[in-house]
Each structure stands twice: as structure tokens, then as C-alpha cells.
Homo-oligomer: A and B are copies of this chain.
């Protein structure tokens, strides 16, 4: 169970693939014997990053989102990448409630959710070239969000 295992998934930037991407990641991390809550945490983070690629990164549903996932020891590492519009000011984009698409009722909580549910989140982006979100979570370690209340 501590051997490294990895996968790479590429799919169309369609909203119906958000659920597919979550399910695929959940199935892939099963070998780590995660708790239900850990699975939900990772699924939520994946959903945020993939949704962002689909609605902010691209206009065309035939463009591709690339997701990688690796497990090693008790850790999950994920990247979600688009080759779309990119982000001008990453620090600002990551502020809670900041959104450029209020007309779509985006809450501006996407990055905040990724940070709440994963241990570490890093975003690299360049305008016109695309965005990559890298995330990591150690399973078996209760996190701040779990003891939030």
C-alpha cells in the first residue's frame, strides 16, 4: 500500500464531467483505505478545481482538462490543469469571495474550499496560457477543517 501509483486523466471541458472526475479520483485513492470524510474532502477539492477549469479557463467544451493523481504512503497528490485563459493575479483570485463571474452565481469560495479540505494548495497560472492547481493531502491526519466547530 505504500508503493507509488499514479494516473493521468484528460477529458472534455463539459460540466457533466465534473462528477466523472470526482468519481474517478475517489476510485483511485481507495487503495489508501480513506475514511468517508477524507474521500468527500478530496472529491470536493477536485470538483472545485475541475469546475474552475471548465467555467473560468475555457469557453469551448471541446478543450481538455488534465487531471493527475498519485498516491504514495498515506499521501494523495493531485494536479488539475487547463490550457485556457489563465489568471492575472493569483493571490487575489485565491481570496475568499473574490469572483469574476458573479453573473453565474459563483460564490468565490472555490479556492477557499480547496484550501479547507486539502493540506496544501498551490496555483501557477499565466494569462493566455493556462492554470495548474497542485494539491496534496495526507490521509489519516485530521485537519483543521475537521475540528472547525
8 Å CB interface, A3-27 against B: 3, 5-12, 14, 16-17, 19-20, 23-24, 27
Of B3, B17, B24, B31, the contact of A9 (CB 8 Å cutoff): B24
Pair B16/A27 contact, Cβ less than 8 Å: no
Chain B residues within 8 Å of A17, by CB: 5, 7
Chain A interface size, as a band, is 20 to 34
A64 nearest in chain B by CB position: B8
Of B3, B14, B20, the contact of A27 (CB 8 Å cutoff): B20
Highest count of chain B CB atoms <10 Å: which of A7, A11, A14: A7
Highest count of chain B CB atoms <10 Å: which of A8, A14, A23, A24: A24
Complex CA distance for A11 and B17, rounded to whole angstroms: 19
- Additional A-B contact list (8), CB under 8 Å, known A5-B17, A11-B28, A23-B24: A5-B14, A7-B9, A7-B11, A7-B12, A8-B10, A9-B9, A9-B10, A20-B28
Binding site for B on A (CB under 8 A): 3, 5-12, 14, 16-17, 19-20, 23-24, 27-28, 30-31
